């Protein structure tokens, strides 16, 4: 196989030069059919949906692709088991269907099956274990109803104590009765999914513009500011979609949200021993909530997550309070034989869920429905809120359906359930690629092009941080093809080096070198 340094999908490259050309075109008065504000998973999904229906699309974000909630998830593509347990059958089925679409059609290179072990410790009663077992079997029925193949998601089963500790040796053996093995969808990286969606939209003709802040929305466009130059311009559009997540209420009146904070810890893998599976650790006193332990394959493990209401102004980057860190460490300590101390926490991150406040204040955010909603303001602005990462595609479809009907746009039907994202290919084809498996999991069919950069220059093949696998070639690829404009784009979103402050400081010089080489 001959290495290539070109993208797998023609027209999908995003870079500073393309951004400048497309922004100038809009400044000159070019009208689009749909203007999307917000480039998280939902906004990028709206841009892709509209573009593949033949509509002219511009999508803007004040910061970067996946700057907000979409990069702070648990990196899971859920099948809806939690919603099934709370009686939200429609949400559960929708989640299972969307999981299957991602795993088998649109992004099999970024989403794969993840095994999880629920350890049956003395804190888990036999009644709770029976309930969990029944839940996992119901989740498997949900998989079948969504027509996801058994080869994609294996069946759940009961484990012996020996099998349980084989998969997770860090578990405390005293009183361990065994475990429950289940499977769900797992993203290589949520921010990489958003990047793939946005680039696929660009390949279908959408203008994808980061560092463009919407100052004012109207039914026929928006006043925006280019954050790199300070220039203000008006983008003319026949329809406007507000997909800014937890910030949606700041652009459109009467959109009421109750943000919920989900915090995660970042630990070194060696602190938890060899984990061959993720862990579901039951939260004491809760019947359907767990702390998740998620090995990342890059020397790090994520532990999350919380579900706490957030009051006041919404920050650009949420802080993780010490109370959340203490809570997660306490639950972790209830099941592990190793002691994880506060000093072992090398990083932390939190995302804010944009939950729709349909019932007013009061009650727990954990009890608010994860259903999404598409709202239309009196002047015709369409806002899509609620939902979750797994169902981004369906949220986008519903938003574009509303726009097309409300503005009487001429458009084809939704196609995104079968539109493969940049890098997607059949698993057998990906397995034949003669490049490191880690690159295939992150770049899919583009992995040979990324690898070729390192073959051409050995300096690019070296990791930019000792002990972390990301290479300088990956940073350069992000600048040339994935729309990265500064060091934070490179270290905090195209890669996740920045989650650990010391690693981020080490990688700064390599990031600046990549930005200087835009050829």
Which has the closest alpha carbon to 318: 306, 327, 328?
306
pLDDT at 257: 85
Angle between the N-to-C axes of helices 392-407 and 89-101, in degrees from 0 to 180, rounded to the nearest 10:
100
pLDDT at 367: 37
Which has the closest alpha carbon to 290: 135, 137, 162?
135
Q: How confident is the model at residue 3 (pLDDT cuts 50, 70, 90)?
A: very low
DSSP E strands in 178-329: the ranges are 179-187, 207-209, 212-218, 221-226, 232-242, 260-268, 278-282, 290-295, 300-304, 308-309
Check residues 497 and 387 and name the one with the higher pLDDT.
497
pLDDT at 259: 87
pLDDT digits 0-9 by tens, 147-157: 999 999 999 99
pLDDT digits 0-9 by tens, 120-163: 999 999 999 999 999 999 999 999 999 999 999 999 999 999 99
Q: For residue 313, is pLDDT > 90?
A: no
Q: How far apart are CA 4 and CA 66, in angstroms?
A: 27
* CA 465 remoteness from chain centre: 24
pLDDT at 495: 96
Q: For residue 273, is pLDDT > 90?
A: no
Q: How far apart are CA 69 and CA 317, in angstroms?
A: 9
Q: Are 470 and 446 in contact (CB under 8 A)?
A: no
pLDDT at 368: 44
pLDDT at 364: 44
Task: For residue 339, give Cα distances in angstroms to 268, 330, 332, 475, 503.
Answer: 13, 10, 9, 36, 24
Ordered DSSP codes for 365-422: GGGS---EEEEE-TT--EEEEE--GGGHHHHHHHHHHHHHHHHT-------TTS-PPT
Q: For residue 365, is pLDDT > 90?
A: no
pLDDT at 354: 85
% the chain with pLDDT above 70: 96
What's the average model confidence in pLDDT over 456-474?
Answer: 95
Task: For residue 8, give Cα distances in angstroms to 120, 490, 493.
Answer: 46, 21, 21
Phi, psi of 267 (to 5 degrees): -120, 160
The length of the chain, given as a count of residues? 519
Average per-residue pLDDT for the chain: 92
* CA 289 remoteness from chain centre: 21
pTM above 0.75, yes or no: yes
Q: For residue 25, is pLDDT > 60?
A: yes
What's the average model confidence in pLDDT over 351-377?
Answer: 68
pLDDT at 82: 75
Q: How confident is the model at residue 519 (pLDDT cuts 50, 70, 90)?
A: low
What's the average model confidence in pLDDT over 174-185?
Answer: 96
Q: How confident is the model at residue 370 (pLDDT cuts 50, 70, 90)?
A: low
Facing residues of 294 across strands? 302
At 385, list the tokens: 């809120």
Highest mean predicted confidence (pLDDT) among 235-239, 285-289, 384-388, 425-429: 235-239
pLDDT digits 0-9 by tens, 333-363: 999 999 999 999 999 999 998 887 765 444 4
pLDDT at 172: 95
What's the average model confidence in pLDDT over 261-271?
Answer: 94
């Amino acid at each position: 196989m001959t290495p290539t340094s070109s993208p797998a999908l023609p027209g999908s490259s995003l870079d500073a030069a393309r951004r400048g050309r497309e922004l100038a075109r809009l400044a000159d008065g070019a009208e689009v059919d749909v203007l999307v504000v917000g480039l998280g998973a939902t906004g990028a999904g709206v841009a892709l949906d509209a573009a593949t229906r033949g509509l002219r699309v511009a999508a803007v974000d004040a910061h970067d692709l996946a700057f907000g909630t979409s990069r702070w998830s648990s990196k899971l593509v859920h099948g809806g088991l939690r919603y099934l347990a709370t009686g939200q059958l429609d949400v559960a089925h929708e989640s299972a269907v969307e999981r299957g679409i991602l795993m088998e059609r649109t992004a099999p290179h970024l989403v794969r099956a993840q095994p999880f072990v629920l350890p049956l410790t003395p804190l888990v009663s036999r009644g709770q274990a029976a309930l969990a077992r029944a839940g996992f079997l119901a989740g498997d029925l949900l998989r079948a109803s969504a027509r996801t193949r058994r080869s994609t998601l294996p069946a759940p089963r009961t484990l012996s104590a020996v099998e349980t500790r084989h998969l997770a040796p860090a578990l405390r053996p005293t009183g361990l009765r065994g475990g429950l093995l289940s499977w769900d969808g797992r993203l290589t990286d949520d921010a990489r999914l958003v990047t793939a969606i946005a680039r696929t939209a660009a390949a279908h003709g959408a203008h994808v513009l980061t560092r463009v802040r919407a100052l004012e929305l109207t039914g026929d466009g928006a006043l925006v500011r280019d954050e790199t130059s300070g220039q203000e311009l008006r983008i003319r559009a026949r329809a406007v979609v507000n997909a800014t997540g937890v910030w949606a209420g700041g652009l459109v009146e009467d959109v009421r949200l109750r943000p919920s904070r989900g915090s995660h810890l970042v630990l070194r893998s060696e602190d938890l021993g060899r984990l061959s599976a993720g862990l579901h650790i039951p939260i004491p006193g809760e019947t359907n909530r767990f702390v998740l332990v998620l090995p990342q394959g890059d020397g790090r493990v994520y532990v999350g997550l919380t579900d706490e209401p957030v009051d006041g102004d919404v920050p650009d980057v949420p802080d993780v309070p010490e109370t959340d860190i203490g809570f997660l460490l306490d639950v972790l300590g209830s099941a592990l034989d190793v002691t994880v101390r506060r000093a072992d926490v090398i990083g932390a991150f939190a995302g804010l869920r944009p939950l729709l406040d349909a019932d007013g204040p009061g009650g727990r955010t954990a009890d608010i429905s994860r259903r999404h909603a598409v709202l239309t303001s009196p002047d015709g602005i369409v806002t899509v809120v609620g939902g979750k990462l797994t169902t981004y595609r369906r949220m986008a479809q519903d938003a574009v359906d509303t726009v097309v009907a409300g503005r009487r746009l001429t458009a084809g039907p939704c196609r995104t359930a079968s539109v493969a994202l940049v890098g997607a290919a059949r698993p057998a084809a990906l397995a034949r690629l003669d490049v490191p498996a880690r690159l295939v999991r992150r770049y899919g069919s583009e992995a040979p092009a990324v690898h070729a950069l390192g073959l051409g220059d050995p300096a690019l093949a070296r990791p930019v941080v000792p002990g972390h696998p990301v290479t300088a070639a990956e940073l350069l690829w992000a600048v040339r093809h994935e729309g990265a404009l500064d060091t934070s784009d490179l270290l905090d979103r195209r890669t996740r080096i920045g989650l650990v402050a010391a690693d981020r400081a080490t990688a700064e010089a390599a990031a600046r070198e990549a930005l200087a080489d835009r050829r």
